[in-house]
A and B are shown apart, each in its own frame.
Chain A
Amino acid sequence: MGDKMTGMNTFLDFEKPIAELEGKIKELHHLSDSDHLNIVDEVTRLQSKVERLLKQTYAELTPWQKTQVARHPERPHSSDYINGLIEDFIPLAGDRCFGEDRAIISGIGRFQGYSVIVIGHEKGADTSDRVTHNFGMARPEGYRKAVRLMSLADRFGLPVITFIDTPGAYPGVGAEERGQAEAIARSTEACLNLRAPLISVIIGEGGSGGAIALASANHVIMLENAIYSVISPEGCASILWRNTDKAIDAAESLRLTAQDLYKLQVIDEIVQEPVGGAHRAPTDMIKHLGETLEPSLRTLVNTSGGELRAHRRQKFLDIGASSKS
């Protein structure tokens, strides 16, 4: 099942020593092809070194390094999770008001036997794909489509799974004219009113209002190296430090890692990523998430609609509540 480690193209700056070792291994493979030298031992030695280094590096990632991992272009995106986990998937499109926003993909399909509605931000896999999906930055139409699909879910009692992966809602003229703020507020409200189970998975970047609009859920799962924040570290640095170079400090201060958010009781569960991050072994990651999602979904499906709604609302009323007066 494991993905080939050599398939990666993009290395992050802190991964340099790992990239160098992997380069060496590649060279050795070429050598053995041409000269028929027996260098298996050397390759094995290097490979175990890579693994040790990866494990060590990824065990000690700083918040800023996690931010880079969360944004890694080869990290699996919503479409990958849908392809891997949802059977009979039928995409559903459009907000019935203005247009179809490809920054949010959505549809109906089957997860482990259950009919489900799936909604997710999509960042895109290559350059043209990223442009098509507007880098996962949704416009009002995307959120209004989400509202429409949530009401569909409500009517048929279908559980909703959302995949969160967005730098934030799109800041553009048209988006503002068509009520970006109102659309986000309505989508958040739709999440909170839903009488069907709602599970959100933050798979990469949980960027501010654009994320919470789809993540006001019964059960919020975060991948080990995902981030979730009120503002990007760069944005925060430019406002509070008046200097974008301070993004590293901002990432530290914002407490945006899965581990921090779990402690703050903002998320409910952390899902481990393969050694070296989800982008090193996408297939393993997707499979592992599927195994984690199933029991959560099963529990929620057996809860009544009224209870689901009440539980979700109480959960958000309690976050940060100052009962410690």
Chain B
Amino acid sequence: MSWLTNFVRPKIQALVNRAQIGDALWVKCASCEQMIFHRDLAERQKICPHCNYHMPIKPAERFAVLFDEGAYQTIELPVADIDPLKFRDRKRYSDRLKEAQKKTDQDDAMVVVHGTIGGYRTVVCALDFNFMAGSMGVAVGDGFLSAARLAVLQRAPLIVFTASGGARMQEGVLSLMQMPRTIVALDEVRQAGLPYIVILTHPTTGGVTASFAMLGDITLAEPDALIGFAGPRVIEDTIRESLPDGFQKSEYLFEHGMIDIVVSRTEIRDRLVNLLGLLLDRQPTAEIANMNAGNIDIPEVLVADSDSSGESEPLNR
């Protein structure tokens, strides 16, 4: 109630706040430390124009550029039993949950939406790393199960964006049980003959990797994302050696045959449209079928090559 609190403090706060606004205009890349103008960054879906570093991105920011005209509907998820074990470490789990809910304005780490991508109806779910490191507890399991069930109901493909530190320790063995639970859920999508596509983003580790994240019909990954079962520190502590360069990064996994495509964030939508088209529209359209019956248009180079080999006849007919 003094001059200090009534006059000086607001002035200082105003100064500090102004500084924050100034900061928000320019963002420093966490990888190359260059300054990036905020509008450039937004346009490039939070990819650094200098070093191609893919910064963390919220599910809503992804959805805005993923769906046709940025239009999608969010699914309301079942309310999970909060804190089933009454877990307490240095803080109460129920308090940690409340904090995360306030920070992200979400009930839990999994967001489920549906909408069209390139005209194809899809169900999409994404883990928000901001919510307790995207960790998987009962609510995340519920979210994934709801997404899978909705996909089957709508006869739509299921697409999932992962970002997770693994199982949510505060739910003990119940979080472990979400591994078989989500696997049964995705299997329902498969059995319905619908595509299940996974996009791995930084970072995806632990129980999420060891369940629904690694079982995609097709698996994409953003560049330079950390993807693995055990975290690098745990491995280093176990083997007591330093790890190879690029270990557990998307490109490394690609080299070891663990994923299909490493794809830049800005190209994900186009890739998905292509893939969905190939997996869902499996027959030639009537137009093409009528036009091209028995008359395949083969590039000239190819025809010339096969002619010289003498085994080209089936191709030319």
* Contacting residues of chain A (151-210) with chain B, CB-CB under 8 angstroms: 169-173, 175-182, 184-186, 188-189, 191-193, 208-209
Given A240-B90, A322-B142 in contact, is the A171-B235 Cβ separation under 8 Å?
yes
Q: Which of A172, A192, A209 has the most CB of B within 10 A?
A: A209
Least CB distance from A247 to B in Å reads: 12
Closest residue on chain A to residue B80 by CB atoms: A322
**CB–CB A320/B167 < 8 A:** no
**CB–CB A186/B180 < 8 A:** no
Cα A323 to Cα B77 in complex, Å, equals: 11
In the complex, what residues of A have CB within 8 A of residue B169's CB? 230-231, 236, 239-240, 254
Q: Write out, one digit per residue, whether chain B residues 153-197 have a CB within 8 A of any chain A CB (1) or not (0).
A: 000000000000001011111111111110111010000000000
Least CB distance from B172 to A in Å reads: 5
Closest residue on chain B to residue A243 by CB atoms: B90
Least CB distance from B84 to A in Å reads: 7
**CB–CB B243/A173 < 8 A:** yes
In terms of DSSP, what is the predominant structure of the interface of chain B? helix
Closest residue on chain B to residue A239 by CB atoms: B169
A90 at the B interface (CB under 8 A): no
* Contacting residues of chain B (32-58) with chain A, CB-CB under 8 angstroms: none
In the complex, what residues of B have CB within 8 A of residue A261's CB? 173
In the complex, what residues of A have CB within 8 A of residue B257's CB? 179
- Of the listed stretches A49-57, A284-292, A311-319, chain B binds A311-319
**CB–CB A229/B173 < 8 A:** yes
**CB–CB B88/A253 < 8 A:** yes
In terms of DSSP, what is the predominant structure of the interface of chain A? helix
Contact of A172 among B85, B171, B238 (CB under 8 A): B238
In the complex, what residues of A have CB within 8 A of residue B294's CB? none
B209 at the A interface (CB under 8 A): yes
Q: Write out, one digit per residue, whether chain B residues 64-92 have a CB within 8 A of any chain A CB (1) or not (0).
A: 00000000000000111100110111100
In the complex, what residues of A have CB within 8 A of residue B241's CB? 173
Closest residue on chain A to residue B184 by CB atoms: A313
Cα A191 to Cα B173 in complex, Å, equals: 18
In the complex, what residues of A have CB within 8 A of residue B211's CB? 184-185, 188
B139 at the A interface (CB under 8 A): yes
B244 at the A interface (CB under 8 A): yes
**CB–CB A209/B184 < 8 A:** no
Contact of A319 among B167, B174, B235 (CB under 8 A): B174
Contact of A193 among B141, B187, B238 (CB under 8 A): B187
Can you pick out 25 interface pairs between chain A and chain B where the beta carbons lie within 8 Å of each other? A172-B239, A173-B243, A176-B230, A181-B228, A182-B210, A184-B211, A185-B209, A185-B214, A192-B180, A193-B187, A229-B173, A230-B172, A230-B176, A240-B90, A240-B169, A253-B87, A254-B87, A255-B172, A316-B181, A316-B184, A317-B181, A319-B181, A320-B174, A322-B79, A322-B139
The 6 closest A-B pairs by CB, nearest first: A171-B230, A181-B209, A240-B89, A181-B229, A320-B138, A184-B210
Further 16 A-B residue pairs, CB within 8 A, beyond A211-B176, A317-B181? A175-B230, A176-B247, A179-B256, A185-B183, A185-B210, A230-B173, A240-B89, A253-B88, A253-B172, A256-B172, A264-B84, A264-B173, A316-B180, A317-B145, A320-B141, A320-B177
